[in-house]
Amino acid sequence: MLTPDQNTIIYLMFLNGILFLGLNFIACSIVFPGPKGSKRIGYVLIVSVILVVSTQQEYQALLYFNFAPDDVQKILLFGMIFPVFLISTVYYRLKKNHLEKNLRSRKKPSRGEKNETD
């Protein structure tokens, strides 16, 4: 059997996984918004609510370990939420630029081929 402290640590790991996946999904949805009429914005709102609840649970779990509330806030915001969201956003932005560059290079006619507008 696990001790209550070990159970809390496992719970924190689970919540961090949810937080990571949710922030990654939100960053992806911002960079790749989807076509008109897409339900992606609704999913982003649902995931945002789940992440708020997850963050509140993490806050309570860290308080269980007798961390100071200011320290818990710094740990969550500057240790997990901001870095993961920013890194995910940069990653998806670079990925989008790479895809657009490949798409543009495929549309250019190679030597000897005529362009469709000629």
12-52 per-position pLDDT tens digit: 999 999 999 999 999 999 999 888 888 988 999 999 999 99
Q: Domain ranges in the chain?
A: 4-106
77-99 per-position pLDDT tens digit: 999 999 999 999 999 999 999 99
d(CA 40, CA 26): 9
d(CA 19, CA 11): 12
C-alpha gyration radius of the chain? 21
The pLDDT confidence band at residue 110, using thresholds 50, 70 and 90, is low
What is the pLDDT at residue 115?
57
Question: What residues contact residue 12 under an 8 Å CB cut-off, 6+ apart?
Answer: 58, 61, 62
The pLDDT confidence band at residue 103, using thresholds 50, 70 and 90, is confident
